[in-house]
Amino acid sequence: MEEYDFDHKIVEVNGINMHVVEKGQGPFVLFIHGFPELWYSWRHQISFMAKHGYRAVAPDLRGYGDTTDDPSKFSSLRVVGDLVELLNTIVPEEDKVFVVGHDWGAIIAWNLCLLRPDKVKALVNMSVPFSPRNPKRKPIESLKAIYGDDYYIVRFQEPGVMEAEFAKTGTKKVLEKFLTFRNPGPLYLPKGKHFDDNPVILPSWLSQKEVDYFASKCEQTGFTGGFNYYRALDLNWELTAAWSGAKVKVPVKFIVGDLDLTYNSPGAKDYINKGEMKKNVPLLEKVVILENVGHFLQQEKPDEINKHIHDFFKGFSST
């Protein structure tokens, strides 16, 4: 984008060509985006951290934007492998990095810290709390039992179905609906009527030009890459059995908006606020609940998020 003076490059990692955006010099900060997003979700944070003496690095994950992908390979082990190989390529071998994740990026960041804690100095994770593996029940089975067949993650499971429905709705409208979603209740996408017909009034923090950028990249790739992360949930459950009961042992700050559907899911508030997550993330240093803020908090409240990230990481920058 012309208003951002960022460096764009393609890095060959783990059998794919990964599009990476970066800016600045200093300690590395790896930003990991979620669904249905891109590196661009971190535009405000990249600029801010670069100005404050960090090297900010934000890739398009496999299946998104300008990163190539194999549509059959979206397990958490492969996606974490992509990021480890990226770090091996661009970061001096002895250096640990700071990590920031949101949405699916948060899930991937939790897994990165579980699998390769030696790579991570500290983590700021947003929206999705660490969820320990349930050895007795697969994720999709659990979600169906709680929410039913119209729940968005369940609806994403069958290849081709939601791709066709979203194509009928139109990429730009789908993205507008997702990016402005502020209902703290579960997200349901009933067949044939997954979004209402009301026109989207964009909030002050999201311009039409920004939506157009997301849409232009999504129109190139389609939604399949993003859906495939959800379609790999049960596979991830199978592949990560060896980490049942494992704890995240890196310093963490967790941030979530009080209108985020993740924060309002059954049991989430108590889990986050009453010490259960701390048992699974023993180095959890701070939990921040932002009032009247939705899911895409790093775009909705960039100044506050930038400050939270910087304040947390600067305590580790000399170590």
CA distance 85 to 13: 6
Residue of 33, 295, 308, 310 marked catalytic = 295
Which residue, chain included where needed, has tokens 């979603």? 181
Of residues 40, 229, 230, 271, which has the active-site annotation? 230
* CA atoms lying within 13 Å on the CB side of residue 6: 26
Overall size of the chain counted in residues: 319
Would residue 19 show up in a list of annotated catalytic residues for this protein?
A: no
103 flagged as catalytic:
yes
Residue given tokens 């999709």 in the structure block: 140
CA-to-CA dists, residue 105 to 99, 204, 211, angstroms: 10, 25, 20
Q: Which residue has the tokens 């119209």?
A: 150
Active site residue 44: no
Cβ neighbors of 190 (< 8 A, separation 6 or more) are: 150
Q: Which of 35, 39, 12 is nearest to 225 (CA)?
A: 35
> Out of 60, 69, 82, 103, which one is annotated catalytic?
103
- Tokens representing 71? 């549509």
Known catalytic residues are 103, 230, 295
